Structure 1
Amino acid sequence: RRSGSPHAETAVGASYVAHAKPHIVDTRNTTIRRRVTQCRNARRTDVDLINRMTAKRYCA
């Protein structure tokens, strides 16, 4: 009798969900941080039109 096998699969699924949720939050924070960095870089090198457009896109 294998009553432990489906139970183990459920545990793996639960742990996967638990791992996936902070990962999603983490990637979103990284994206925001990257946008802030890009915004600062574009503001610092606000020389030509392209950089000004980049600043507008990332700082919006």
Structure 2
Amino acid sequence: MVRTPPTCPQCPTRPMLWKDTEHMRSDAPDRWRWYCSGCERYWEPTATQKREYSYGTP
């Protein structure tokens, strides 16, 4: 199942957030953040989002 990314809680137009994997390392595969191209802010994913968007839903 393909999940749609969350939307930006800051922007009035509510664009989808991008999964920024720039700082991922092989020893820490879940070290990523959400990025909004509208307001250029980063958001820390919730524990549920990390589980679902890092490894996929069961």
Normalization by structure 2: what TM-score? 0.24
In the superposition, the TM-score normalised over structure 1's length comes to 0.23
Bigger Rg, structure 1 or 2: 1
Which has more strand, going by share of residues?
A: 2
